[in-house]
Chain A
């Protein structure tokens, strides 16, 4: 594998029953790059993201993350240990936050360090505090998720993923479950991460944000990559008919 790549996805297929949701997806991500996946609902962009850390088992294809790779084909079970060790290279942020409700904000953030990395508490807590501070929520460390707003929950979830110090952060529509007035605070955190050079793959419907932070945009339609390129090129000069049709309403709004 090329040293200049942190993720390489080759010919990824995913079947749900007889539904062929991913039809040979291939792409690479360089270190410090921000890749944004866009496309209609049901186009396969979330599934692509979820296959990268094996929350969905890919039906076939090859996935390489930070030097570890796994080949998949129908009927071949991936080794659970291998899955876990590759997962540790990625951090995932979900649309529905999925914070652990029985733990405080800080406990959520350090859970992985304690349970997975088996760190002692006194080593994990300062790290947890550091990441809570990074997302601006140090003062909420002893609060349970139910007393946090949606935006705060999502920021804790980001801190939880960051605390494991993954090589790549994966964001699966991180603002789609948020009230409009809470979206900004989450996007701010993500922009900050992008500025710091965090490698990220983001699935989002926030086109303005995508245009701002993306180094590269990939447009997926019906389980295939239709077009990829720099944000400006995709938004201002889409080559493919389908990309144009998808972006047309958004471009109209931006012109106004």
Chain B
């Protein structure tokens, strides 16, 4: 049998002062718009000033317009390396966080060791070790007759770059995932346990879906940071934006021109990324809005 309860009904009369509320709302909206417009003007002024200053200082815009395409061709590489790395880093971070939060001493040890090493050393050194250091081990292994294994240690520049960025960011993101998982209230875990879920089921069905929503902005920030840190893989001669800008700049000593172009592209890339991240965040908030 169904239980009947009285629905709560709002009094039907309309508030006679509703106009006052509407006016107030319109006024607040207008003030916000004006503020946004003012900030926009400041931006435009700053950009205009910087452009003007550059033009006064023997900056060669013609060179920029004729050569920006060369840098832009590296955009796909930059973006590709960043996307692949954030993907692998996310998986590493999830494993790292689960390890840190598990009761298993081996899992805890592995993950804390991993985080400690990769947060405690510079990304550039990690790139050098993976790209230049590992093949040395590979050669040694090959000389022992372990040809297949030796090959595994000899990575291409792109592979090395993705591996280094993934491992480095995975370590930072482990902490983000751990904090996100721990931010979900204990009651959620108890409710899931009380209907008989195993630890893995409740992690997968209850905790992680909620934790992911919490950490989406942080993952977005990491992705933006990674797009810029990917410039460091240019030391291996990967033809991404920084390497291309560098190469073109050196040809005719047009350093300011080419590096400003590269900087602009990175900047635009991060603006687009944070806009996309905002959309994603909004989409995931659906269940949490009244």
Contact = CB atoms under 8 A, between A and B. Distances in A.
Given A100-B206, A185-B3, A91 B288 contact: no
A60 to B, nearest CB: 21
A98 B190 contact: yes
A146 B290 contact: yes
Given A146-B288, A185-B5, A94 B191 contact: yes
Nearest to B5: A185
> A80, A102, A138: which has the most chain B beta carbons within 10 Å?
A102
A14 B270 CA distance: 55
Interface stretch (B45-53, B121-129, B194-202, B227-235): B194-202
B197 A116 contact: yes
A98 B193 contact: no
Given A100-B206, A101-B288, A164 B5 contact: no
A189 B5 CA distance: 10
Contact of A92 (B5, B194, B209): B194
A136 interface: yes
B288 A144 contact: yes
Contacts of B185: 98
Interface in A79-104: 80, 84, 87-88, 90-92, 94, 96, 98-103
B196 A99 contact: no
A147 interface: yes
B105 to A, nearest CB: 15
A217 B240 CA distance: 75
Interface string B252-289: 00000000000000000000000000000000000111
> B196, B199, B206, B288: which has the most chain A beta carbons within 10 Å?
B196
A88 B8 CA distance: 36
A188 B5 contact: yes
Nearest to B198: A84
Given A135-B3, A192-B3, A98 B187 contact: yes
B14 interface: no
A201 interface: no
A116 B201 contact: yes
B17 interface: no
Contact of B190 (A94, A160, A184): A94
B3 A189 contact: yes
Interface string B1-33: 111110010000000000000000000000000
> B185, B190, B290: which has the most chain A beta carbons within 10 Å?
B190
Contacts of B199: 80
A102 B289 contact: no
B195 A116 contact: yes
Contact of B196 (A96, A112, A151): A112
Contacts of A101: 210, 287-288
Interface residues of B, number: 29
> B3, B190, B206, B290: which has the most chain A beta carbons within 10 Å?
B3
B117 to A, nearest CB: 32
B213 interface: yes
Given A116-B201, A135-B3, A185-B5, A111 B187 contact: no
Contacts of B210: 100-102
Contacts of A92: 190-191, 194
Nearest to A181: B8
Contacts of B209: 102
Contacts of B4: 136
A53 interface: yes
A115 B185 CA distance: 20
B5 to A, nearest CB: 4
Contact of A98 (B3, B8, B191, B213): B191
Given A100-B206, A101-B210, A101-B288, A84 B196 contact: yes
A10 interface: no
Interface in A146-194: 146-147, 149, 151, 155, 157, 160-161, 164, 184-185, 188-189, 192
Given A134-B1, A136-B5, A192-B3, 17 more contacts: A55-B190, A55-B193, A84-B198, A87-B195, A88-B196, A91-B194, A92-B191, A94-B191, A112-B195, A116-B196, A133-B2, A144-B287, A151-B5, A160-B195, A184-B5, A185-B3, A188-B3
Interface of B: 1-5, 8, 185, 187-188, 190-199, 201, 205-206, 209-210, 213, 287-290
Can you list the 3 inter-chain pairs with the closest CB atoms, starting with the nearest? A112-B195, A98-B191, A92-B194
